[in-house]
Amino acid sequence: MAEEPDALLRALHESYARPLQSYVVRLTGDRALAEDVVQEAMVRAWKHPEVLAREEGAARAWLYTVVRNLVIDDRRSARHARERTTAAAPDTPQPDASQAVLDSWLVADALEQLTPEHRAVVVGAYYGGRSVAELAREQRIPEGTVKSRMHYALRALRLALQERGVSA
């Protein structure tokens, strides 16, 4: 055959790509893997131009052998043993919430060190989103007392957090 290698490879691909993919799908049940294996077999044929020069039956046998060996290699690989495929893409990645959980435990522990009156003001304002006037009504105390408790509660909370190694 006096044809150039690229033309021979194109002809080989046109003749055998689909039958090879069908063969690999029958072996593995995986269409994506079949495409990858056939592509790799064609690359190997391109790297070995002597295969392209063989008569048609010999080239066909060589390609089927290469494809079969690639499937066997894949099944023996660590990737095959450890990876799992899924039909659906995973959900969008979520940020790691472990630091937030640890922080909330730390703050909850520090809040326990406050007096119940101080804790009620801090929790009501920061976790409940209530204003000074709302807290004063709820606790039946003057607004000035709410402000004073908030001031001393935050100082005590800062000190409790510093004792736990948190720097502000």
Q: How far apart are CA 69 and CA 43, in angstroms?
A: 14
- What pTM value is reported for the model? 0.46
Q: Can you give the pLDDT of all 168 residues of the chain as single tens digits? A: 445 767 777 888 888 889 999 999 998 888 988 999 999 998 888 888 787 777 878 888 898 999 999 998 888 877 766 777 677 776 777 788 888 888 899 999 999 999 999 999 999 999 999 999 999 999 999 999 999 999 999 999 999 999 988 876
CATH topology of domain 5-82: Rna Polymerase Sigma Factor; Chain: A (1.10.1740)
> What are the E-state strand segments in the chain?
none
Question: Domain 98-163 belongs to what architecture?
Answer: Orthogonal Bundle (1.10)
Angstrom distances, CA of residue 38 to CA of 28, 43, 85, 93, 105: 13, 9, 20, 32, 55
Domain boundaries, the chain: 5-82, 98-163
CA–CA gap between residue 85 and residue 95 (Å, rounded): 23
What DSSP character marks residue 10? H
Distance CA 118, CA 81 (A): 57
